[in-house]
Amino acid sequence: MSMLSRGPQIDEFLKDLFLVLENTCDIVFFSHENMDPDAIGSIIGMIGFLEASFASKFNYLVFPPRISKLSRKVIDALQFNISTIETIPSTDFLPILVDSQNISNVIKNDEILSKSLQERSIIIDHHFAESSLTYRFGYIDSTSQSACEIIQSFFQARAIEPVEPFNRALLAGILYDSGFLKYAQNSTVHAVDQLLGTDFTLNDIRQMLNDSMDLSERIARLKAGIRCNLTKIGETVIATSEVSTFEASACRGLIGLGADIAMVLAQNKGEVRISARQTDDCHVQHGLNLAVIMQAIAPVIGGSGGGHELAAAANGTKDGAEGLKKAIKLIEQELG
């Protein structure tokens, strides 16, 4: 989707959203587990957008309560208070799902609640559309580098200037999800330009997002290296490994070591997570979409999968090793 074609769809989405909001008091923002700066930036950015549009009409709650260490740092730096909740209110509220499409990833052990929330949800996301999910309506643009970039375009569509701290929150999410613009597209840089204020610099945001790895994450990466298995398909090297946690970071570590594709399994207390990454070069050369691969192995591990072409993941409750095997097989078929 190009920048130009985004306009009408955004206008239509915002028109529908504002209609629903006329009869809304309470909003609960949902996102993925261990919310990252893009999820947190999206929630704070959306609050800023709604505040500017409706003048303090709503109460905002956030679920799940689990936020990544780096996101906590961002919230503290912004001095913005978000009200996280441990349980879902029984009262009437509007569920808005950001940086995620599947509410069952955070509402576990309650299929009925998860299903009813999913059906009522409004989704704002930049992952590949999960076709099996039903929801009220949404704005999903998988060409967008971050959910924060989408929300920045809402401000632009309504000619609202994002003020402090909303501009910094959105910038944090955009910079985080684009690897500090390493994976930026033209629209990413354009969004950053629109958000830069006069009283802070890009370096301030960089410092806010400065995340030194703690010991357990570094050890997980090193263990992934020790336990790593290699599959060679022509000139392409797939590295697979297993850790107990930090599987996404372990993938990035294996890519840093020289793998073209890395997939790392984490299996814990009946929970199975597989993270997958590939280099930009590998993607350009083979046109491989890891989100599709992760979606395809979801039935094997009894869960769901998705993400982006370069970075994707699958979660489930069943045989993780089989899931990895299947993923390697599918990649072999794609590349063969």
Question: What are the φ and ψ backbone dihedral angles of 209, each rounded to 5 degrees?
Answer: -100, 10
| Shortest Å, Cβ 126 to Mn ion | 6
Q: Is residue 149 within the footprint of Mn ion (CB under 5 A)?
A: no
| Shortest Å, Cβ 100 to Mn ion | 8
The rounded distance, in Å, linking the Cα atoms of 62 and 31 is 8
Looking at residue 241, the DSSP 8-state letter turns out to be E
The rounded distance, in Å, linking the Cα atoms of 261 and 285 is 12
- Select 6 or 126, whichever has its Cβ closest to Mn ion: 126
Tell me if residue 167 falls in helix, strand or coil.
helix
The rounded distance, in Å, linking the Cα atoms of 253 and 104 is 29
Q: Which residue is nearest to Mn ion (CB)?
A: 38
Candidates 202, 180, 208; CA nearest to 76 is 208
Of residues 20 through 39, those in contact with Mn ion by CB under 5 A are: 38
- Select 38 or 217, whichever has its Cβ closest to Mn ion: 38
Which segment (86-94, 135-143, 172-180, 213-221) binds Mn ion by CB under 5 A?
172-180
The rounded distance, in Å, linking the Cα atoms of 184 and 192 is 10
Of residues 36 through 65, those in contact with Mn ion by CB under 5 A are: 38
- Select 190 or 326, whichever has its Cβ closest to Mn ion: 190
Tell me if residue 133 falls in helix, strand or coil.
coil
Which segment (49-57, 175-183, 192-200, 315-323) binds Mn ion by CB under 5 A?
175-183
| Shortest Å, Cβ 91 to Mn ion | 29
Sign of CA pseudo-dihedral 247, 250, 256, 262: negative
| Shortest Å, Cβ 147 to Mn ion | 5
Of residues 255 through 314, those in contact with Mn ion by CB under 5 A are: none
Count, residues near Mn ion per rule CB under 5 A: 4
| Pairing assessment for the beta strands 122-125 and 137-140 based on DSSP bridges | parallel
Contact residue for Mn ion among 130, 141, 177, 242 (CB under 5 A): 177
Q: Are 212 and 237 in contact (CB under 8 A)?
A: no
Which segment (99-107, 209-217, 235-243, 268-276) binds Mn ion by CB under 5 A?
99-107
| Shortest Å, Cβ 177 to Mn ion | 5
The rounded distance, in Å, linking the Cα atoms of 274 and 61 is 30
Candidates 273, 242, 239, 243; CA nearest to 256 is 239
Candidates 336, 333, 311; CA nearest to 126 is 311
Q: What does each C-alpha distance from 310 to 142, 300, 303 come to in angstroms?
A: 12, 21, 20
- Select 38 or 130, whichever has its Cβ closest to Mn ion: 38
| Shortest Å, Cβ 239 to Mn ion | 24
Contact residue for Mn ion among 96, 99, 248, 335 (CB under 5 A): 99
- Select 170 or 238, whichever has its Cβ closest to Mn ion: 170
Provide the β-strand partners of residue 26.
59
- Select 66 or 318, whichever has its Cβ closest to Mn ion: 66
- Select 24 or 68, whichever has its Cβ closest to Mn ion: 68
- Select 187 or 236, whichever has its Cβ closest to Mn ion: 187
Residues lying near Mn ion in the complex (CB under 5 A):
38, 99, 147, 177
